[in-house]
């Protein structure tokens, strides 16, 4: 009888040990699957004409190699999966929005006068920013990015400026973040000629907001880091500017687009070319067109000569969010951004 009971206890013990081993194995497998799923939360997916930057399988934005005369980011997908830039001219027959300024393409970076060539507008005698290669893409649990090279050239295909750029998406479904970083330098390292950037308001880092978000005859409102609002923000320096309103005609929830300029960015004290009709741009170089609203400035002329062998480095953060920012919210976001470091070398 005692032997029988001992056998039963031994079998029970063996069963318990095996059950424990099975549980541990299942736990390890579940953890591995969880880690794998988590590590793939952000994705950078290469296509023939673009790179899609995604979170949990949902598109945040696409880096398009060419739209008009330049690479762009489009669309800009914010919280609640709303589209947060104008659709025209990427969608030629878009409805319920103005079909003006066809060079205003979602999110872009160009300038109105470089070596006497206009890269801001499009058409005859204007320059072109040409995508030349994808340097690399990256993805992780916390972000996805694309790094690319561009050539700034005349329509006769004569390049004189090269650009290295990086777009990194991060954040959460409730608040999308797109960091936009650029390095510009002479296309010929051995050149002894400087690159001239003219004194113009037309530039440089820009977004065209949705039609229903603009201030003019719509729901929009603008706030900058100095507390100025709407039309008073045009031509003023600021650490950040927030442009908010309804992203669609029937929207019940307001959304906003904030642009922050990093304290180490070239021309960080430059003026904001932010218009109540929907253009949202920072200009690190131009001065003369903004003097009327900055009568006390000691700098009366703009423009910039990029010396041979040197470069300019710019870093902006775009935050797509719900509701309009307050001064406190904007300042808190800026303090976080200011503690980050540029990534490109």
pTM score, two decimals? Answer: 0.89
Share of the chain above pLDDT 70, in %: 88
Say if residue 129 is in the same domain as residue 59: yes
Q: How confident is the model at residue 123 (pLDDT cuts 50, 70, 90)?
A: confident
* Sole residue written with tokens 């409730």: 174
Whether residue 54 has pLDDT greater than 70? yes
Say if residue 105 is in the same domain as residue 140: yes
Q: Which domain holds residue 148?
A: 43-338
CATH no. for residue 231? 2.70.98
Say if residue 132 is in the same domain as residue 145: yes
Say if residue 136 is in the same domain as residue 2: no
Q: How confident is the model at residue 338 (pLDDT cuts 50, 70, 90)?
A: very high
Say if residue 10 is in the same domain as residue 78: no
Whether residue 38 has pLDDT greater than 80? no
As a whole number, the mean pLDDT across the chain is 90
Q: How confident is the model at residue 35 (pLDDT cuts 50, 70, 90)?
A: very low
Structural domain includes residue 344: no
Q: Are 62 and 73 in contact (CB under 8 A)?
A: yes
Structural domain includes residue 343: no
Say if residue 195 is in the same domain as residue 313: yes
pLDDT score recorded for residue 68? 97
The string of DSSP letters for 200-251 reads -SSEEEEEE--GGGSSTTSS-EEEETTS-BGGGGTT---SEEEEEE-SSTT-
Say if residue 83 is in the same domain as residue 160: yes
Structural domain includes residue 307: yes
Say if residue 215 is in the same domain as residue 299: yes
Whether residue 318 has pLDDT greater than 60? yes
pLDDT tens, position by position, 128-148: 999 999 999 999 999 999 999
Q: How many domains does the chain have?
A: 2
pLDDT score recorded for residue 17? 43
């Amino acid at each position: 009888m005692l032997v029988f009971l001992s056998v039963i206890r031994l079998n029970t013990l063996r069963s318990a040990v095996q059950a424990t081993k099975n549980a541990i194995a299942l736990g390890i497998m579940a953890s591995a699957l969880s880690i794998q799923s988590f590590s793939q939360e952000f994705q950078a997916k290469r296509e023939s004409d673009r790179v899609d930057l995604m979170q949990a399988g949902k598109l945040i934005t696409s880096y398009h190699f060419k739209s008009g005369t330049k690479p762009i980011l489009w669309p800009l997908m914010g919280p609640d999966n709303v589209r947060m830039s104008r659709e025209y001219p990427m969608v030629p027959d878009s409805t319920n929005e103005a079909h003006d300024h066809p060079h205003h393409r979602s999110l872009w970076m160009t300038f109105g006068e470089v070596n006497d060539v206009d890269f801001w507008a499009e058409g005859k005698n204007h320059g072109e920013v040409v995508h030349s290669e994808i340097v690399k893409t990256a993805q992780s649990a916390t972000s996805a990015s694309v790094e690319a090279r561009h050539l700034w050239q005349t329509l006769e295909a004569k390049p004189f400026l090269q650009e290295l750029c990086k777009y990194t998406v991060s954040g959460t479904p409730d608040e999308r973040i797109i960091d936009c970083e650029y390095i510009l330098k002479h296309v010929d390292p051995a050149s002894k000629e400087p690159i001239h950037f003219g004194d113009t308001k037309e530039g440089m880092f820009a977004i065209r907001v949705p039609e229903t978000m603009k201030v003019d005859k719509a729901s929009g409102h603008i706030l900058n880091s100095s507390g100025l609002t709407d039309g008073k923000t045009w031509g003023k320096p600021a650490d950040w500017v927030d442009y908010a309103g309804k992203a669609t005609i029937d929207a019940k929830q307001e959304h906003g687009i904030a642009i922050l300029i990093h304290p180490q960015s070239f021309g960080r004290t430059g003026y904001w070319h932010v218009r109540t009709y929907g253009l949202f741009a920072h200009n690190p170089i131009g001065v003369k067109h903004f003097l009327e609203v900055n009568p006390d400035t000691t700098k009366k002329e703009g423009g910039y000569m990029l010396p041979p062998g040197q470069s300019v480095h710019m870093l902006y953060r775009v935050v797509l969010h719900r509701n309009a920012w307050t001064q406190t919210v904007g300042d808190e976001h800026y303090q976080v951004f200011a503690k980050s470091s540029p990534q490109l070398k």
